[in-house]
Chains A and B, each alone.
Chain A
Amino acid sequence: MTKPSTDLVDRYLQAVGFWLPRAQKQDILAELSEDLHSQIEDREADLGRALSESEVAEILKQRGRPIFVAGQFLPQRSLIGPTLYPIYIFVLKIVALCYIIPWLVAWFGILLFHHSEATANLSRDWHSLPTLWNVVFTQFGIITLIFAAIDRASVKGTCMSDWDPRKLPKIKIETPAKRRVNAVACLVFAVLGLIWVLAIPDNPFLILGPAAAFLTAAPVWRLVYWPLVALAIATVFEHAFVLARPQLTWFQPTFRIATTLLSSWIVGILLRTQTFLVPIDPKFAQVAGIVNVCILISAAIWAISLVVQLVIYGWQAFREIRRAMEPATPHLA
């Protein structure tokens, strides 16, 4: 009759063996078996009697779960090693930023404005999120497989040694003078932008060009014109403030969150409407229709970029506010 200890040990070894590579399985199991039996015999010699099943179970429990024990013998336990991992994460972030976030934003936008007839056709195609997840998982899966293959191929070995420190990019030094010049240039352009916005109602050719002869603004612009002026004034204020108080690095991203929200409200109104320009003469109705579609598409793209901007400014504001609250630390010279 089989001893209870032998039976339990054999069952344990069988469970460990399930996870081991075939080539080494017998060898590893034989050694583990020997070690376990030696330990049991030692314990039995100490106690002067055979171990009970629960005592053997305790020894096996101490060893750990079979899958964990087997895992210790496997050559590599990570799909992508620490050398390539930062590059892998960087690539995933780029994919998320350039593809998934805009897709999600567009999807939410269409859900919000789906009652508009102009977007009804689009919404039919975009309504199912599972399509997005399929694409996301496929992309992430392919990227992961490529990196795992590179890792296995030990390309990292050559990548790690074959590099020239002299080819590293130069340190970007933004001197206070250069920052000031940039701030002044931004302020000048912001003022010019404000003047341009203020001049549009009396000089529609500033925005429509030669089309001002046969197209005119639809009523929606009366609703959004003053908010647009407010946005232009806010931009002037932002750059003037940055010029006056450049050390308050948290201000610009925080302020831009507010202006981006105002822009989002404006673009929301624009997306709800279908008519941005109306023909002065009915014979230009077709031209007006084409221009209106172009403006609608531009507004949709603007909406997507606003959401991306909101995420970026939110992160920048959080980082700068946190930095401002931290005690001063010395910077690299």
Chain B
Amino acid sequence: MDNELFENLRLELRRGSLTLAVLAQLKTELYGYALRKALESHGLAIDENTLYPLLRRLESQGLLVSHWREEEKRNKRFYRLSPQGEIILYRLLNEHEAMNAALDRILAPIPAPQPTENGFEPAVLEPKEQLQ
């Protein structure tokens, strides 16, 4: 139950970040598989069943443009950020930065969970710290 809940929340948390990462990565033109590899090399693995529908959605929203081109004897669909996508990415990055800064301020006083015999135990804050 806890795992399922965590997994749902994790997916929710990742959803917005993935869109941002895909848009940012497509400042340079890439095809689907290469994009997946590029994101993975940065530590952001993305399931292909998530990536391709996302690419299509972003393209239909006008944030990406794509075209088919032959490379290494195979037809590949290359994506890159559209002019509108660049503006949106800029705004999203600002939003992301503001949110990160806010989160940093909120999370600052919270110490990391301590490992115990039963796994990780959430750290208990002193009342003073909670009020900060």
Contacts and interface: CB of A to CB of B under 8 A. Distances in A.
Contacts of A64: 49
A262 to B, nearest CB: 43
| Chain B interface main SS type | helix
Size class of the B contact interface (CB-based, 8 Å) = 10 to 19
A32 B52 CA distance: 8
16 contacts: A28-B52, A28-B56, A30-B68, A31-B32, A31-B52, A31-B77, A34-B32, A34-B33, A34-B76, A35-B32, A35-B33, A35-B36, A35-B48, A38-B33, A64-B49, A73-B56
B75 A73 contact: no
A34 B56 contact: no
Contacts of B56: 28, 73
A34 B75 contact: yes
A110 to B, nearest CB: 45
B49 A63 contact: yes
A1 B38 CA distance: 34
Size class of the A contact interface (CB-based, 8 Å) = 10 to 19
A31 B68 CA distance: 9
Given A28-B52, A31-B52, A35-B36, 18 more contacts: A30-B77, A31-B77, A32-B52, A34-B32, A34-B33, A34-B74, A34-B75, A35-B52, A38-B33, A39-B33, A63-B48, A63-B49, A64-B49, A69-B49, A72-B49, A72-B50, A73-B52, A73-B53
Interface of B: 31-33, 36, 48-50, 52-53, 56, 68, 74-77
A198 B115 CA distance: 74
Contacts of A69: 49
Nearest to B76: A34
A30 B67 CA distance: 13
Nearest to B74: A34
Nearest 10 pairs between A and B by C-beta?
A: A38-B33, A72-B53, A72-B49, A35-B33, A31-B77, A73-B53, A35-B32, A34-B76, A69-B49, A35-B48
Interface in A70-90: 72-73
Nearest to A64: B49
A72 B52 contact: yes
